[in-house]
Amino acid sequence: MSEHDHPAQPDQLDAAEEAHLRELSASAVTAEAEGDERAIEAALRPRTLDEVVGQARVREQLGLVLEAARGRGRAPDHVLLSGPPGLGKTTLAMIIAAELSAPLRLTSGPAITHAGDLAAILSGLNEDDVLFVDEIHRMSRPAEEMLYLAMEDFRVDVVIGKGPGATAIPLEIPPFTLVGATTRAGLLPGPLRDRFGFTAHLEFYEPTELELIVRRSAGLLGVRITDDGAAEIAGRSRGTPRIANRLLRRVRDFAQVRADGVVTLDVAHATLDLYEVDVLGLDRLDRAVLDALCRRFGGGPVGAATLAVAVGEERETVEEVAEPFLVRTGFLARTPRGRVATPAAWAHLGLAAPRSEPGGTLFEA
Ligand SMILES: Nc1ncnc2c1ncn2[C@@H]1O[C@H](COP(=O)(O)OP(=O)(O)OP(=O)(O)O)[C@@H](O)[C@H]1O
Ligand SMILES: [Mg+2]
């Protein structure tokens, strides 16, 4: 991507206002939904498979599964949706129910702490319902075991009483379709994973796809946007529709308050600079980590704990919030000896990479 010259901001904000906005934007590019974002998102969700932008393979595969099931007049196989936050798992779960004209029952792994919780949900299902279990990897172990049986045999064993006198009463449940969503498919026990007839892996989106999503969302929000404005937002959205929609809302606010309401390239630039989201979608923490790695530690290798101290953050924050995206963009490598900056990282910071290989065993991983 070529660096644009940054045009003058449509308006200058005073320092206090700017600091306040910065504080609010501490995580403008986190992929997790924040605050009341889920309610806002509901309005922007595609309602049918045809409305879904991108994920061509998943759309085709899922389309076949659903059409075949409709043709047979039977509930389709259970579906597992896996992928990073904000890529459309909940959206697809809702679409599955809508495409089957079936009611959607919603629950989540953390809400099912006892097998009894799950038994109550399952026994309340009607034939052909779609049961959506979000964060399915966080369900309790006994509930998981109950779910295996329910998925396979449409039956659960309800245990009555305790100790040696306890008896298991088998309970039939009507055929239903389980849709599970997980950001951590690796944490699902094999037996559970194996009972899904179809697993959809959601991938990060291409900038051109995100651009379509931004234009679609702008249309739904009644925001006027230029093509280059949409492209600018898309390019900084880390391949994630949730982030694209969030940045669009921030840029829309700026356009409304500081400009004439139209989201143009200039307005997008000015807003995203204000929120410290750079041309590749890196935020302040991401850049602080890269900066410390290159300037202070000569490109590494340096241990995660040391790097965290250098940027004044908890080690977990650096490891779980900043590093995954830096690794994904090819700026940072995790090696057994510690974190290492790649030549691309030096280039992104506008620094010359050291000529020799960074080395030394000064810092432990
Ligand atoms: N393919 C898509 N086309 C258009 N919009 C999308 C698409 N995928 C996701 N979105 C938008 O992104 C937002 C987040 O999507 P969704 O809630 O489905 O993500 P998720 O994968 O369930 O995230 P989480 O792991 O946090 O639950 C929604 O508002 C939705 O409108
Ligand atoms: Mg979700």
> Tens digits of per-residue pLDDT, 47-91?
999 999 999 999 999 999 999 999 999 999 999 999 999 999 999
19 has pLDDT over 70: no
Q: Is 134 a catalytic residue?
A: yes
Q: Which structure tokens are listed for 292?
A: 């410390």
Which residues sit in the known binding site for ATP? 44-45, 86, 89-91, 152-154, 195, 205, 242
pLDDT at 186: 87
Q: Which residues of 346-356 are buried (b: 16+ CB within 10 A; e: fewer)?
A: bebbeeebeee
Q: How far, in Å, CA of 180 to CA of 136, rounded? A: 6
pLDDT in tens, 250-307: 999 999 999 999 999 999 999 999 999 999 999 989 999 999 999 999 998 999 999 9
Which residue's structure tokens are 């393979």?
57
Mean pLDDT of 304-318: 92
Q: How far, in Å, CA of 135 to CA of 137, rounded? A: 5
Q: Is 162 a catalytic residue?
A: no
267 exposure class (CB count in 10 Å sphere: 0-12, 13-18, 19+): buried
Q: Which amino acid is at 208?
A: T
Nearest ligand to residue 49 Cα: 1
pLDDT at 16: 56
Q: Is 107 a catalytic residue?
A: no
Q: Specify which residues 144 forms β-bridges with.
A: none
Q: Which structure tokens are listed for 254?
A: 């700026």
CA of 311 to the centre of ligand 1 (A): 31
Q: How confident is the model at residue 37 (pLDDT cuts 50, 70, 90)?
A: confident
Q: Specify which residues 332 forms β-bridges with.
A: 341
Mean residue pLDDT of the chain comes to 88
Q: What is the pTM of this model?
A: 0.85
Which residue's structure tokens are 């049918």?
48
Q: Alpha-carbon dihedral of residues 260, 264, 269, 274, nearest 10 degrees?
A: 30
